[in-house]
Structure 1
C-alpha cells in the first residue's frame, strides 16, 4: 500500500432528485365563472333594420323551439341538436356584446361572460377542464353562456401536430365541440374575426348575425341615444352634422368622442361648461385619425363568405349595417 495512501470517508451517491410535483398551492385553480343579471335590453340595441331582422329571426328560433322541433318535427332533420348557439360577428364597437346581453335579458336568463384568458392555461390539460367548468356553471345556474373573442376559442384545429402544445390546442377544440353538443342551453359567441373559426364550429352554430358599421340613420339615432340629457348643451347639438361627419365610426367610437368632448367642456370656466357640436366634430376627427394610424385594421366583412360561411344554417346578411 503506498505510503501516502489514506482512507477517504464514504459518501453515498444519490440519483438526481425528480422534479417536484406541481405544488398544490401553486396550482392554477379552476376559474370562477361569475353569473350576473343582464341589465341591457333589446330596446337599447340600436341597429339598422336589416340587422334587427336577423336578430329577431334568431330570437324566434329560440322562443318557438318546442313548436319548431317537436310539433313541426324539425328534429327529424336536426336530431342531435340539444341547445342553441348563436354567432355575432363584425367590427369592434358595433354592439355585439350589448346584443348578447340583450338576448339574455329577452330570454329572462342570467349570463356568464367568458374571455379566453379565463380558460386558457399554461398547464397541459387545464384548459379543457376550464372549458368544461364554464359549461357546468351555465347548466347549474341556467345561464346564457357568452364567449367573447370567440375566434380564440373556436379557431381551426392543427393538422400538423409537432409538439405537445399543438396537441393541447386540438384537445381543447375537441372538448369545446363535445360540450357544445351536450349543452342544452344557449351559447352566444362574439368575434371581430369570424374567418378564424374552424368549420366544425360553424356547422354547429344555428344562426350567424353580421354586425357592420352603422349607416347614416343609425348613426343619428346613436348620437341621440348616447348623449345623456344631463350633459350641458345636449339639447342644442346638431345630430345631423354629427351623423354626417362620423361615417365609418362605430357606436364605441362615438362613446369615446362624447367622453373627450365632455372633458374639453369641463375644463372651461364654469359659466362656459357646455358641450358644443364643434367639440364633438373635433373629437370625431381625432377618433378617425387614431383608427387609421393605430392598430391593425380588420378585413372588410364582405370577404368573410368565401370558405367558412358558405353553408350556414341561417343566411348571413350581405350588406346590413349596425351599431349600438
Structure 2
C-alpha cells in the first residue's frame, strides 16, 4: 500500500427491512403456538390393564403395525381408499388409565403427542373455536405428532337440531369443522371420555376402535399396588398386597394413587415405631376416596345423563369486534358450503 494512504473500512451492509407480519398471520401463528408437542414418557409395557382391555388395545394397534399387509397384500384399500387415519376412542370411569395409555401409544409410535382439552380450544367468541380446532390438527401435521383430545365428549357432542341463537349455530359449526379435519388428517388421533353417550353418531362411525377401560379386577389391583406403593414406605406387616387388593375393590388406578398419598400423610406424623402405614390408615384413606367419588360433584349442577352443567358466557355476533365478526361470517359461510358438499356425498350425516 503506498505511503500516507489510509484504508477505508467497508461500511456495514444494512440489511433490508423485514416485512412486518400481518395481524391475521400473527394471530394464526399465536393460535398454533397454543398446542405444544410433548415427548411421551410411558411405555406400553408399563400399562396395567385387565386382559380384555389389553386385547382391545392390541387389536387397534395392529392396524398400525400391519398396515402394509392389510392394505396392500390383503387389499383393504379396495374398501377404504384413504386408510391412513387411525382414530381410537377410549372411554370408561375416571382414573382407569386412558391418558396414560394415549401417552404410551405415542411412545410406541416414536412420535410426540399434542394433548388438547376442551378448555384450550373453546372460546367465548363465536367462530373462534373452529379455528382453534383447525390449528390443533395443523400443528399435529407440521410436527408429525399424535393428537390426543381429552374430555372428548365436549368436542364430539351431538349436533343441535333446534338452532335458536348464534351460539347454537356456533356449536354446529365447530362439530362440522371437527368432522372435516378428522376426515383430512392422515395421522393418529386419540379421544378419551368419561361420557361416551354424548358422542354424535357421525364421529362414532369415523373412529376405528372404541376401547372400554374397565375398573381393574383383583389381579390388576395387586399389580397397581405393587407399582404405586413404593418399597421405601414403611408398612405394618399385615399391610400385604393381597389384603390391599381385596380392600380396594371398585377403585381405579388413580384412586389407588390417592389412597397411597392419603395413608402416607396420616402415618408420617406419628413417632417412633408408629411411624408406618397401618391397615387403619389404608381403610380411612379408601373411605375418603370412596366418599369423594360418591358425593363430591355428583349432587349439584347435574344435567341429562349425569353431565355437569357449567354456565358459560355467550357472546352474540353483534357483540363481536368488526374484524372478528368478518372472520366469523366468512368461516360460517365456508363451513356451511363444505358441510353441504359432504352431506350430498353422504359424508356428514
Q: Same fold (TM over 0.5)?
A: yes
In the TM superposition, what is the alpha-carbon distance from 1:55 to its structure 2 partner?
0.6
CA distance in 2, matches of 1:293, 1:163: 35
C-alpha distance in 2, partners of 1:286/1:61?
42
Alpha-carbon shift at residue 286 of structure 1 (Å): 2.0
Report the equivalent of 1:276. 278
Mapping of residues 1-324 of structure 1, within 5 Å: 30=31, 32-233=34-235, 237-269=239-271, 272-296=274-298
Quick one: structure 1 residues 168 and 120, their matched pair in 2 at CA, closer, same or farther if it must change by over 3 Å? same
Query: In the TM superposition, what is the alpha-carbon distance from 1:78 to its structure 2 partner?
Result: 1.6
TM-score by length of 1: 0.80
Contact 2:37 2:143 in 1 (8 A): yes
Give me the whole-angstrom Cα distance separating, in 2, the residues matched to 1:50 and 1:244: 21
Secondary structure of residue in 2 paired with 1:36: coil
Query: Deviations for 1:140-192, whole angstroms, at most 9, x for unmatched residues?
Result: 11100000000000000111111111111111101100111110000000000
Q: 1:78 to 1:224 in 2, by over 3 A?
A: same
In 2, Cα distance between equivalents of 1:233 and 1:97: 30
1 CA distance for matches of 2:191 and 2:181? 14
Task: Indicate the RMSD between aligned Cα atoms, in angstroms.
Answer: 2.2
Normalising to structure 2: TM-score of the pair?
0.75
Q: Which has the higher contact order (CA 8 A, sep 6+)?
A: 1
Q: Is the 8 A contact 1:47 1:214 kept in 2?
A: yes
Q: CA deviation at 1:236?
A: 6.5
Aligned residues: 276
For structure 1, the 5+ residue unaligned runs are: 1-22, 301-324
User: Is the Cα contact below 8 Å between 2:56 and 2:211 reproduced in 1?
Assistant: yes
Q: Work out the CA distance in 1 between the residues paired with 2:259 and 2:74.
A: 50
How far apart are the structure 1 equivalents of 2:97 and 2:74?
Answer: 33
**1:240/1:67 Cα in 2 relative to 1: closer, same or farther (>3 Å)?**
same
Q: Which secondary structure does the structure 2 equivalent of 1:189 belong to?
A: strand
2:190 is paired with a residue whose SS is strand
How many angstroms does 1:271 deviate by?
5.1
C-alpha change, 1:132 and 1:234, in structure 2 (3 Å) is farther
